[in-house]
Amino acid sequence: MRLPVLIAAALMPAVAWFSQAGYFGPDNGEISDRYPTLLVAAGYAFSIWGLIFLLDLAFAAWQLGARRREDDTLLRVRPAAAAGFTLTALWMPLFSQQWFWLALATIWLALACLAWAATVLARDATPLPGQRVWAKFALSLHAGWLALAAFLNTAQVLVAYRLAPVDAMLPWSLALFAAAALVLLGLNARMRGSAGFVLAALWGLAGVYMKQSASALPGATVAAWTAAGIGVLLLAQTAWLRLHPKHRVFSGHLSPGE
């Protein structure tokens, strides 16, 4: 599975380039503007994809090394990582083509794959040299962004198909924010405050705050402060996890360097 991981990691930036160039249809920003929601983030926030792609490529190259060929943790993680990368690449043309239900299923599946892989890496009691940077941080950053992006995508599907009121979005948006908070806090706990996951989630929540603070949509101010509140909760949880090492015990051992 080492080569499929590399191919899938390279596929993401390649597909992203074609997507932004308009080969698959309208780009993500244009489609998001067609279906405004109270969960969407400011445009600059999506620049994190560049860092995610770069680190995923670094992970793909790192795991090719001979010393890492038969590592038990990497053997477990590779199939999920390759699947998550492939699904991430697939999501882009699906969203551009406005096949929203397929795109929504794809992003949630990508999150499931990468969150599982990042959790396995976070729970590895004997990580290889460089694993915390090139594997754990990289995949948890990707998972952290998807954990929020999946809810942004969900909100856009609700608006696109008018499955919820578009003139009074605050009630159902708050329900999505609550669900997002549960997912973010739950995954963060499983990853024991992994830096990549937290940084990506906070970056996305800050983007939502900035976008909604400047939005004229009814309820946008409440949405902005809700995103900020979730960020504060995530920071507080992370601090608690890192200040209480006994809660980072896996199979009777402390994770080195944690």
Q: What are the residue boundaries of the structural domains of the chain, listed by start?
A: 2-249
53: its two tokens: 């792609």
Let me know: does 49 contact 117? Beta carbons within 8 Å: no
Q: Give the pLDDT score at 205.
A: 98
Q: Give the pLDDT score at 26.
A: 85
27: its two tokens: 């780009």
CA–CA separation, 71 and 148 (whole Å): 31
CA–CA separation, 210 and 25 (whole Å): 27
Q: Give the pLDDT score at 33.
A: 85
- Low-confidence stretches of the chain (pLDDT < 70) are 245-258
Let me know: does 43 contact 152? Beta carbons within 8 Å: no
Amino acid at 54: L
Half-sphere exposure (Cβ direction) of 22: Cα atoms closer than 13 Å: 2
Q: Is the pTM of this model over 0.95?
A: no
13: its two tokens: 């930036």
